[in-house]
Amino acid sequence: MKVVIVDDEPPARDRLRRLIEEIEGCECAGEAGNGHEAIALVARATPDVVLLDIRMPGMDGVEAARHLGSLDQPPAVIFTTAYDEYALRAFEAHAAGYLLKPVRKEKLSEALARAARLTKPQLAAIAATTTNRRRTHLSVRVRGELRLIPVEDVLYFLADQKYVSVRHRGGEELIEESLKSLEEEFEPDFVRIHRNALVAVRHMASIERGDDGQYSVRLRGLEEALQVSRRLASDLLKRFRG
């Protein structure tokens, strides 16, 4: 069984690696210090199980697990934490495996034997109940590979039939999420300007009024303007013009 260890603290990683090496049939397939590294490592090493610390700088464990969940062959995930009441309650509620640090060897081998993949809804529910519910990144699959888009680079989301297209500074991608759930997760940093459009407040340059009385929003680094629906125009103006 190939296990990957993800923890931002070197002593914590050392200890887990040693414990894993002592368990028969297990080997450590690599270590990562944060969520980003973890995703790259998992793609490379294709482990069976990932031991994921919850509290890590940059991208935390719960978010990393969500992104890992969109892989073709997602690994099983076991969360590790020193102390986090909310997260533990969420794990219990959604049957996610977890270990408390300092981890006991017996518990570790038990957890590894029982380790299971978490489904996307499970992961989303866990993320919603833990303290850090908003993701820092969106994950998209590009030709079988997992790519992360920093949320702060996103200019707007545009709903189109079944998919939502994400326009970001590095291009445009399709994701399988609803505009409504994105709006709920990233408010107030994103604002709805149209039934099908959610724009990033941080990238907004101006709100313009056309000859026909239609308002439109201009975003920095974007040629075209985005139409504001009549229904949402007054809310938008109230918020940004005071």
Query: Which residues of the chain form contacts with another protein (CB under 8 A)?
Result: 8-12, 14-15, 18, 33-34, 55, 57-58, 82-84, 100-103, 131-132, 134, 136, 152
Q: Which of 2/36 has CB closer to another protein?
A: 36
CA distance 213 to 172: 30
Minimum CB–partner distance for residue 133 and another protein (Å): 8
Q: Which of 134/231 has CB closer to another protein?
A: 134
Q: Which of 40/100 has CB closer to another protein?
A: 100
Minimum CB–partner distance for residue 81 and another protein (Å): 8
Minimum CB–partner distance for residue 84 and another protein (Å): 8
Minimum CB–partner distance for residue 53 and another protein (Å): 10
Minimum CB–partner distance for residue 22 and another protein (Å): 11
**Cis status of the peptide bond prior to 188, with omega within 30 of 0:** yes
Quickly list DSSP for the chain. -EEEEE-S-HHHHHHHHHHHHHSTT-EEEEEESSHHHHHHHHHHH--SEEEEES--SSS-HHHHHHHHTTSSSPPEEEEEESS-HHHHHHHHHTT-EEEESSPPHHHHHHHHHH--PPPHHHHHHHHHHSS--S-SEEEEEETTEEEEEEGGGEEEEEEETTEEEEEETTEEEEES--HHHHHHHHTTTEEEEETTEEEEGGGEEEEEE-TTS-EEEEETT-SS-EEPPHHHHHHHHHHHH-
Minimum CB–partner distance for residue 130 and another protein (Å): 9
Q: Which of 117/133 has CB closer to another protein?
A: 133
Q: Which of 127/159 has CB closer to another protein?
A: 127
CA distance 73 to 48: 9
Q: Which of 53/173 has CB closer to another protein?
A: 53
Minimum CB–partner distance for residue 78 and another protein (Å): 16
Q: Which of 32/233 has CB closer to another protein?
A: 32
Question: Checking DSSP bridges between strand 190-194 and strand 204-209, what pairing results, if any?
Answer: unpaired
